[in-house]
Amino acid sequence: MMWVVGVGLGAILFGVVFLVFSSNKSGSKNPSSMRGLEGEAQETFSTFGMVLVRGELWRARSKREIIQRGDRIRVVEPGPGLELLVEKVIKSAEKK
């Protein structure tokens, strides 16, 4: 009977550990690991705004350009705190 309790407790412990590690996505709350990733602007901004990267909302900063809501963005580098420096992704048709 004790082995059943031991197996049950082991399964619960395994489940808890699995949930903790699976919820800690790579890049989550770690802007430095997000360099080069692409996302989408959630609002129009020229200095600060919100972007969606890997299904997470981030505060973003753009140095050089106005970014429109819906534009594809790329993470250039982490900013201070939980902030990203981003640039608009230029499609090949727009480069010409």
Asked whether residue 21 is domain-assigned, the answer is: no
Instruction: Calculate mean pLDDT across residues 66-91.
Output: 93
CB 47 within 8 A of CB 73: no
Asked whether residue 20 is domain-assigned, the answer is: no
Determine the structural domain holding residue 33 and report its residue range. Answer: 28-95
Total domains in the chain come to 1
Which domain CATH number covers 85?
Answer: 2.40.50.140
The confidence score (pLDDT) of residue 29 equals 63
Asked whether residue 49 is domain-assigned, the answer is: yes
Nearest CA among 63, 69, 64, 72 for reference residue 44: 69
More confident residue, 82 or 68: 68
Using one digit for the tens of pLDDT, what is the confidence trace for 34-65?
A: 999 999 999 999 999 999 999 999 999 998 89
Asked whether residue 18 is domain-assigned, the answer is: no
Average pLDDT, the chain: 83
